[in-house]
Amino acid sequence: MQDIKQAQKAHVLVVPYPGQGHINPMLQFAKRLASKGIKPTLTPTVYMVKSMQLFDIPTQTGPPIQIRPISDGFDDGGKNQAGSTSTYLDSLNIHGPKTLAQLIKQLAEDGDPVKAVIYDGFLPWALDVGKKFGLIGVCFFTQSCTVNSVYYHVQRGLIQLPLSGQDTVSIPGAPKLQQSDLPSFVEKYGSYPFWFRVVIEQFSNIDQADWVLCNIFYDMENEVVDWMSTMWKIRTIGPTTPSHYLDKRLKDDKDYNLQLFKPNTELTKKWLDTKPTNSVIYISFGSAAILSEQQFKELSQGLKNSKRSFLWVVRESEHSKLPKGFLEETSNQGLVVSWASQLEILAHKATCCFVTHCGFNSILEALSLGVVVVGYPQYTDQGTNAKFVEDVWGVGIRAKVDEEGVVRREEVEEFIREVMEGKKRDEMMKNVSKWKKLAKEAMEEGGSSCKNIDEFVTYLGGC
């Protein structure tokens, strides 16, 4: 405890990529640091601060989490103002380093100097800025170690693209990956040139990082972590699910406290409370995934035909894709809302399974709260996550797509039957219970992730 107390004066900047799925895990890690005496300052972009729902951020007895934004060059409208992803990323790479450096200087002048920069792997320039000021540099991976290992192998020329003639790809510590199991930026090389650049450049300067932190717990990918440990000082510090659902060591930490959309918590809870245990299919594709109108039609019809109760989160921007009459025809069967508190839904006794795009935060939440998963991957790392859900962790299944890449209504009905009453349900539930227990143990005092966080805190206090 003495070493942790020595760290009370350590001030760190936490620099997330400007997206909810990246901000939330880094904010949760900042809460953990604050509870142990570290002083964290979160640096989202100006526009993200303006547009997100900001709630009180509990830190137990530690220092409060400051929010000091930096600029992406589009302070009034973010990506929408930029007009294109490539324009936005180019601007972020220019204005981000400049305003981060200004913030570090200003904090020093204010008598509140920074000791370390904990940066999202998507923002390698933050490490360069930190090193110019002589700061400790800490890379934080918000995606799985396997996904990042694939990107590393591509960046170092160990996987050649395009993947012509290759049925599978092998990387140390991971199962053999079919092309459809790979991150879409690798599988469909050339289709996302700007994002491909982002994920590959994570490794352009990582050898200069003092620490590499991963948002998993060790048992999830132990062999991949062991291999990565031969190159970097890597530690697993996850899952960064709010403490209420794991170890309960952070008082009142029940949510992420930053949301792009306001959840309709009262309506969803009231509706779920009327449903029997393990009876509701929960469907959500996160804050960014965009489904085709055809996919909406097939999913809607499959849900309707299943006769099962469902709770479907459909963002307002996607509402027009719902088939005409669907809401009226299923009013006694399901509930469609524009946004919801996913954690509360997954924790509710009525929830039976989670149909998800397999964003990594959603997968970690499902593992932490013990819910069977139906993988419905769209792009980026989601195909790899779906592979692990079905074949490695055994906590769910992956929906089958046809030659057009669409999950048809018959498949929707089939996977609903499979996860709710199929032959494999008992085995999936057994695995779900196992991983829920392991996630909780990792974050409890003495658990692997907790030990790694304490080691990092001690380092900040003593170096």
Q: Which residues are catalytic?
A: 22, 120
Please state, as a whole number, how many other Cβ atoms lie within 10 Å of the Cβ of residue 61: 10
Contact predicate 254/329, CB 8 Å: no
Q: What is the 3-state secondary structure (H, E, C) of 309-343?
A: EEEEECCHHHHHHCCCCHHHHCCCCEEEECCCCHH
Helix (H) or strand (E) holding 53: strand 53-54
Positive or negative torsion for Cα 328, 330, 334, 339:
negative
Query: Tokens representing 336?
Result: 């469609």
Residue whose pair of structure tokens reads 């547009």 in the numeric block: 51
Task: Tell me the C-alpha distance between 458 and 2, whole Å.
Answer: 9
Token couple for 40:
């964290």
Q: How far apart are CA 441 and CA 436, in angstroms?
A: 9
Joined tokens for residue 137: 């540099």
7 vs 4: CA distance, rounded Å = 5
Specify whether the CB–CB gap between 310 and 287 falls below 8 A: no
Give the dihedral of Cα atoms 114, 115, 120, 122; nearest 10 deg.
Answer: 80
> Going by C-beta distance under 8 Å and a sequence separation of 6 or more, which residues neighbour residue 90?
none
Phi–psi pair at 82, nearest 5 degrees: -65, -35
Which 3 state secondary structure label does DSSP give 258? strand
12 close to 460: Cβ distance less than 8 angstroms: yes
Per the document, the length of the chain is 463
Q: Please report the DSSP string for 290-307 in residue order.
A: ---HHHHHHHHHHHHHHT
Q: Residue 276 gets which letter from DSSP?
A: P
Give the β-pairing of 234-236 and 211-214.
parallel
* Amino acid in position 60: Q
Beta strands in 394-454 (DSSP E): 396-398
Q: Are 61 and 36 in contact (CB under 8 A)?
A: no
> What are the C-alpha distances in Å from 424 to residues 77, 363, 372?
47, 19, 11
